[in-house]
Amino acid sequence: MGLLSKKDAKLITDPLADNNPITIQVLGICSALAITAELKASIVMSIAVLFVLGVGNVVISLMRNIIPSKIRIIVQLIVVATLVIIVDLILKAFAYELSKTLSVFVGLIITNCIIMGRFEAFALANGPWRSFLDGIGNSLGYAVILIIVGFFRELLGSGSLLGIKVLGDPIEKTGVYAFGYENNGFMLLAPMALITVGIIIWVQRSRNEALIEDN
């Protein structure tokens, strides 16, 4: 593997499939439902979480031996909130247009349970390098699901991808709309996001039965 030992590489690859934060750990569901109506929003959110989770995991991991266990959740929250606000302020000053695009995601990142979940489950017990890899792995796993859901919701709900009308124009009745196809507006609402995530979970577990919990 060269750069990464086998154990370290697993930190990245596991969350992509058999230990996916959304479909297996069931973390970060709220944002997966809220912002996947468009592919672009899914991608922006994924990048933002990648950054915050990568850096946040390292910070928490470095502090893990001095954090009093009684208030560790509050400390984790402060670290996330501080990181996000610092980034937001700097963007507002030096990349104003980018900050306008990202500002709506700020609240969603701070309250994203995937971040608190990984701090609590991994960074508090592991060194900074492994925590960093865990953060990257989990946010990539999160990104994969967000992008799949965003792809189907935007395609079936609005007939477009990244804002480009790939199925023709629904008002002028060109492309597939000429044959009577209609956009399914229900795809744009949160319930269909939940159903889409449910279908992904179903497909994943029927392909790998080891993932099915016994009751």
Partner 1 sequence: MATNTDKNLYTVLFATGMVIIVGALLAFLASSLKEKIAENKRIEKQQNILYAMGINENDESSVEFVSKDIVGPEFKKYITKQLVITGTDAVEDNNAYLIDLKKEEAASKAEKRPRKLPLFIGNKDNTEFYIIPVLGKGLWDAIWGYVALDSDLVVQGVYFDHKGETPGLGSNIKERFFMDDFKGEHIIDGDSFKGITAAKGNADPKNMDKEDFEVDAIAGATITGDGLSAMLKKDLKMYMPYLKTLKQ
**189 near partner 1, rule: CB under 8 A:** yes
Q: Judged by CB under 8 A, which of 1, 6, 69, 215 binds partner 1?
A: 69
Answer whether 102's CB lies under 8 Å from 96's CB: no
**182 near partner 1, rule: CB under 8 A:** no
The one-letter amino acid code at 17 reads A
Answer whether 162's CB lies under 8 Å from 119's CB: no
Q: Judged by CB under 8 A, which of 70, 180, 212, 214 binds partner 1?
A: 70
Query: Taking Cα atoms as reference points, which of 49, 126, 39 lies closest to residue 87?
Result: 49
Pick 7 or 100: Cβ nearer partner 1:
100
Q: How far apart are the first and last CA of the chain?
A: 38
Q: What is the DSSP letter of 38?
A: S
Answer whether 93's CB lies under 8 Å from 117's CB: no
Q: Judged by CB under 8 A, which of 1, 94, 179, 207 binds partner 1?
A: 94
Three-state secondary structure call for residue 34: helix
Pick 40 or 205: Cβ nearer partner 1:
40
Site string for partner 1, 6-45 (x = CB under 8 A): ----------------------------xxxxx-xx--xx
Gap between the Cα atoms of 129 and 213, Å rounded:
31
Q: Judged by CB under 8 A, which of 5, 7, 73, 89 binds partner 1?
A: 89
Q: How many CB atoms lie within 10 A of CB 202?
A: 11
Gap between the Cα atoms of 215 and 211, Å rounded:
13
**105 near partner 1, rule: CB under 8 A:** yes
Binding range to partner 1, per CB under 8 A, among 51-59, 69-77, 134-142, 201-209: 69-77
H helix and E strand count, the chain: 8, 0
**98 near partner 1, rule: CB under 8 A:** no
Residues 116-175 that bind partner 1 (CB under 8 A): 154, 157, 163, 171
Residues that bind partner 1 (CB under 8 A): 34-38, 40-41, 44-45, 65-71, 74-75, 78, 82, 85-86, 89-90, 92-94, 96, 100, 103-105, 107, 154, 157, 163, 171, 185, 188-189
